[in-house]
Amino acid sequence: MRISGTFLLVACLALAAHAGAIKPGPNAQEEIQEALITAKPGATINLGEGTFDLKMGLSLDIDRVKLRGKGPDKTILSFKNQNAGSEGLIVTGSGVVLENFAVEDSKGDAIKTKGCKGITFRSVRAEWTGGPKETNGSYGFYPVESENVLIEKCVAIGASDAGIYVGQSKNIVVRQSRAEYNVAGIEIENCHGADVYECVATKNTGGILVFDMPDLPVQGGRDVRVFNNQVVDNDTQNFAPKGNIVATVPTGTGIMIMANNNVEVFENTLSGNQTTNCLIVSYLASGKEIKDPNYDPYPEGIYIHSNKFGSGGNDPQGDLGGALSELIGKPVPDIVWDGVIDTKKMAGGELPKDLRIYIDGNQDADFINFDLMNALSDPSKAKISRDIAAHAGELPRLKPIKLARR
Amino acid sequence: MRFVKYVALATTACATIVLLGQVHAAKKGDASAVNVRLSGSAPKSLSEYRFFVGNLADLKPNEGVVPYDLNTPLFSDYATKYRHVWMPKGTSAAYHGEDAFDFPVGATLIKTFSFLHDLRDPAKGQRIIETRLLIRKKKRWDALVYLWNDEQTEATLKVAGTTKDVTWIDRNGAERSSNYIVPNVNQCKGCHVVDKKIVPIGPKARNLNRNYDYADGGANQLDHWTQAGYLTGAPSPNAAPKLAVWNDSSSGTVDDRARAWLEINCAHCHNPRGPANTSGLDLRFSQRDPVKWGVMKVPVAAGRGSGGRSYDIVPGKPDESILTYRLESTEPGIMMPELPRRLVDEDSLPLIKEWIASMHDVK
C-alpha cells in the first residue's frame, strides 16, 4: 500500500491540532519531558496556566524549539519538591527560545543552557521564593559556552550565586531585565563581547559583575559594555557558600570589574551601594592563589564615563570593605581601584594607553586607588591616591553587540 | 474517528520503512537471529531484538551476543549490571588506545540493570529494572531505554524516563531501598556526550583489558573480541593499557585505583570535551596536571555544591575538599555525579578519602 505525502501531512496536522498546551497535573512531569524529547526542530511546546509540581529536572536538546508559557506569573514550573537533577531546566539545543514562564525553587540552577548556538530567554522569571538563602540554587539564568545569547525582560530573584550569569560565552545581550536579592545580580564571566543595558540590579550583594577567572577553557574575558542600568541599593548580606568567587564580593557593591579587559561602563545610575558604587580589582584582590600560567589577572582597558553617582560607601562590608575603611575611613569613594597593574607590560615607565583605566565625565564621582600590593605587605606603606584627574581621558568606544539572526 | 484512522495509516507507513532498514545478517526470514534496525521508529519491546534466547529474564545470549565486564564500573545505587555487545555478522570494531573503540554501524551495546534481592547471595534472585541500548547508526549512536515489567517477562521502550522503588539486602545484611531513576534519553546524553554527540563510555581498551569467564572458559576480553571477529587492531593484552580495579588492592596503588574510580564515575562529564568541561575539572586517568584534576583548584560554578570549602582537593585533607563533600551528598544540586545515583557509594568513599589523605601538599 502506498501512502501519499499529502496524506501523511494531513495526519501530522491532525496530531498537531490535538497537541494543545500541557496542563499541570500528576502526569505533567512525563508529558513535558516527553514533549521536550520528541519535539521536531522548530516546534513550539506550549505550557498552560498554573503551577507544575515537578520532581525532576527537565531537559531539552532539540534545535529551535520554542518553550512557551502563558506568562512569568501564570505558568510556574515549581521545583520545590525536586529530588533529582542538578537544575530546573537544561537546554543543549541551539536556537531555542524560552518565554513567558517561571522556574521556581530549583535545587540547583534554575535554567542552564550549554553549548547553544543561539539561545533566547524572554519574559522568564527565575526565583527562589523563600528569599535570599545559602541553600538556594546557584544561578537563575545560566547560559554557558554559548553564543548569541539574548536575555530580555527577565527577572531573577534569590540566587545564591548570580541571578543572571553568562559564562564562557560570546556575543551576549542582557537587557530590560531585573535582578534582586541575589548574591550577584548580573554577572558576565569569561565572556567575549557582551552588552548589559536598561537593567535594574537592586537589593543584591553586588549589582553587576564583570569577571575573568583562571583555570577555565574560555578565558580572557573582554569587550563588555555596561550602560544605562540602574544599579542601586545593593545591600543584601552576602549569602554565597564559601569557596565560590562571589562569596568574596563585599556586600553593597554596585558594579564590580575583576580581571576583565576592555570594559566600558557608561550612563548608569549608581547609588546606595554601601561598600562602594564601582569596584575595579585584579584577581589578586580575591586572595586566591593563581596556578594557571595562561591567566591574566589584571583589569585593563577599563573606561568608566558619563555615569551618575548618588550616595554610597557609607557602610563598607566584607574583608575588603573592612580593610578599606581601616585604610581610608568612610565613606568609601564611588569608584575604587586596587591599583594593581602588570608591570611587565610597562614601556617607558608607564602602561600603554589602551591598558589603562580611564574615569571621565561622571557626575558627582569620587575615587580612590588603595594600592593593594603595598597595602598587603604593610598598610602604612600603601600609596593611596584620590586623584581622579590622573585617570582623565578616553578609550575608543566599544562596538554594540549584534546578535546573529537564525 | 478520523484521527484514529490517520494514526493507523501513519503506523503502517512507518512499519514499511522499518522493514527496509533491517540489518540482521542472517538469511531473510530467519526468525531466530538478532534483529537490530537502523531506521524507522524503535521497537517497542526488548524481545523484538532477540538479543537473548529462552526466558528473557535469564539474559541468555543469542548467537553473536557477547557478555563483557569492566575493570571499574560506574556506581548506580548498588545495581548489578549485565553488559553485552552485538555486531552485525562480518563487522568489527577498530581498536583505540584512549577513546572507546570505533564500532561498526549496527553494533549494539546492551546493558541491563538489576537489583539482587540479597547482595550477599545472588542465588536468592533479582529484579531486573531496565535494559539500556546504545545502537550505532550511520551518523550517530542512539540511546534507548527499555523498562522491565514486574513479571520480568518483557521490557518496553520508555522515552521520558521514570523512577522505580527498589529494595535489597546489602552486604552487611541491612535492608536498603532507593527510588531508582530510569533515565530519559536526555539524561543518557547527560553522560554519554562528547562534542555534543552520543558516544559509549565503558568499552575502552583500558577498561575491557581483563579476564572474563566465558561459557567455554576464561579468556582476556580483548583477545576474545579479536578471536570472535569483533575487534581489529588490538595489541596483545600485555601491551594494551589497563585500568585498576577500584576495589582490588592487588590491581594497583591507592592512586591508581582512586584515579580509575574517578575516571569511570566522573570523567565522562569532567573532561575537556564533556558536559562538565566548563568547570575546568578534568578527571580522566590520563590527565597529568594535578590542578586540572582538582588539587587546590577553585570551584567555578559549584554554588552551594562547594559546601563552604575552598578547593576541589586539599592535599592531606579529605574533609576540607569539595570533591568528598559532593560524593557524600545525596542532595540534588550538591551531589556528584548528578546521575544516576540517589545513594552514597559507601564502598568507594573510603578509597577516595585515603587517596586525598595520602597526598602531600603541592607547592
Instruction: Please give the Cα distance from B320 to B335 (Å, whole number).
Output: 16
Domain identity same for B265 and B205? no
Domain identity same for B254 and B343? yes
Q: Which residue of A has its CA nearest to B271?
A: A217
Question: pLDDT truncated to tens, each residue of chain A (406 aa)?
Answer: 444 544 444 444 444 434 589 999 999 999 999 999 999 999 999 999 999 999 999 999 999 999 999 999 999 999 999 998 889 999 999 999 999 999 999 999 999 999 999 999 999 999 999 999 999 999 999 999 999 999 999 999 999 999 999 999 999 999 999 999 999 999 999 999 999 999 999 999 999 999 999 988 899 999 999 999 999 999 999 999 888 889 989 999 999 999 999 999 999 999 999 999 999 999 999 888 888 899 999 999 999 999 999 999 999 999 889 989 988 899 999 999 999 999 999 999 999 999 999 999 998 899 999 999 998 888 888 899 999 999 999 999 999 999 997 5
Spell out which residues of chain B touch residue A259, defining contact as CB-CB under 8 Å: none
Domain identity same for B183 and B48? yes
Three-state secondary structure call for residue B218: strand
Domain stops at, among B193, B215, B239:
B239
Domain identity same for B287 and B168? no
Q: Is residue B290, in this structure, part of any structural domain at all?
A: yes
Q: Is residue B87, in this structure, part of any structural domain at all?
A: yes
Tell me which residue of A56, A104, A109 sits closest to A87, measured CA to CA. A109
Contact assignment for A10 to B311 by CB distance below 8 Å: no
User: What was the pLDDT predicted at B18?
Assistant: 39
Domain stops at, among B204, B239, B274:
B239
Contact assignment for A160 to B304 by CB distance below 8 Å: yes
Q: Is B189 on the interface with A (CB under 8 A)?
A: yes
Q: Is residue B54, in this structure, part of any structural domain at all?
A: yes
First to last CA, chain B: 75
Q: Is the pLDDT of residue B5 over 60?
A: no
Domain identity same for B201 and B74? yes
Domain count, chain B: 2
Tell me which residue of A277, A339, A331, A263 sits closest to A307, measured CA to CA. A277
Q: Is residue B363, in this structure, part of any structural domain at all?
A: no
Instruction: Please give the Cα distance from A27 to A82 (Å, whole number).
Output: 15
Higher pLDDT, B24 or B194: B194
Q: Is B94 on the interface with A (CB under 8 A)?
A: no
Residue to mutate among A9, A83, A239, with most B CBs inside 10 A, is A83
Instruction: Please give the Cα distance from A34 to A57 (Å, whole number).
Output: 13
The DSSP secondary structure of A83-98, one letter per residue, reads -EEEEEEEE-SSSEEE
User: For residue B17, what are the contacts with CB-CB under 8 A and spacing of at least 6?
Assistant: B39, B40
Closest CB to A167 among B179, B301, B332: B301
Residue to mutate among B297, B300, B309, with most A CBs inside 10 A, is B300
Domain identity same for B254 and B131? no
User: For residue B315, what are the contacts with CB-CB under 8 A and spacing of at least 6?
Assistant: B295, B296, B356, B359, B360, B361, B362
User: For residue B190, what are the contacts with CB-CB under 8 A and spacing of at least 6?
Assistant: A59, B183, B269, B275, B338, B339
Partners of residue A117 on adjacent β-strands: A147
Domain identity same for B292 and B317? yes
Closest CB to B338 among A34, A86, A139: A86
| 3-state percent breakdown (helix, strand, coil) of chain A, nearest 5 | 15, 40, 45
Q: Is the pLDDT of residue B10 over 80?
A: no
A contact residues 74-103, partner B, Cβ 8 Å cutoff? 82-87, 90, 92
Q: Which amino acid is at A74?
A: K
Domain identity same for B45 and B137? yes
**Residue pairs between chains A and B whose CB atoms are closer than 8 Å:** 165
Q: Is A117 on the interface with B (CB under 8 A)?
A: no
Domain identity same for B65 and B124? yes
Burial class (CB in 10 A: 0-12, 13-18, 19+), A283: buried
Cell of A70: 502563558
Q: Is residue B60, in this structure, part of any structural domain at all?
A: yes
DSSP letter assigned to residue B344: -
Contact assignment for B331 to A34 by CB distance below 8 Å: no
Tell me which residue of A333, A342, A345 sits closest to A370, measured CA to CA. A333
Three-state secondary structure call for residue B226: helix
User: What was the pLDDT predicted at B269?
Assistant: 92
Instruction: Please give the Cα distance from A228 to B77 (Å, whole number).
Output: 52
Q: How does residue B362 score in pLDDT terms, banded at 50, 70 and 90?
A: low
Tell me which residue of B103, B124, B104, B105 sits closest to B115, measured CA to CA. B124
In degrees to the nearest 10, what's the CA dihedral of A267, A270, A276, A282?
-30
User: What was the pLDDT predicted at A12?
Assistant: 46
In order of A51, B175, B215, B256, the CA distances from B328 in angstroms are 32, 20, 39, 21
DSSP letter assigned to residue A325: H
- Taking a C-beta distance cutoff of 8 angstroms, is the pair A73, A50 a contact? no
User: What domain range is B334 assigned to?
Assistant: 249-357
Share of chain B above pLDDT 70, in %: 91
Instruction: Please give the Cα distance from B149 to B327 (Å, whole number).
Output: 32
Q: Is residue B244, in this structure, part of any structural domain at all?
A: no
Q: How far is B72 from chain A (nearest CA, A)?
A: 24
Q: How does residue B261 score in pLDDT terms, banded at 50, 70 and 90?
A: very high
Domain identity same for B281 and B216? no
Domain identity same for B92 and B179? yes
Contact assignment for A144 to B301 by CB distance below 8 Å: yes
Q: Find out whether the peptide bond into B73 is cis, omega within 30 degrees of 0.
A: no
Mean pLDDT of B89-103: 95
B contact residues 246-305, partner A, Cβ 8 Å cutoff? 272, 275, 277-278, 280, 291-292, 296-305
Domain identity same for B214 and B254? no
Q: Is the pLDDT of residue B12 over 50?
A: no
Q: Is the pLDDT of residue B20 over 80?
A: no
Q: Is residue B302, in this structure, part of any structural domain at all?
A: yes
User: What was the pLDDT predicted at A19?
Assistant: 54
Residue whose grid cell is 571477529? B229
Q: Is residue B362, in this structure, part of any structural domain at all?
A: no
Domain stops at, among B239, B258, B282:
B239
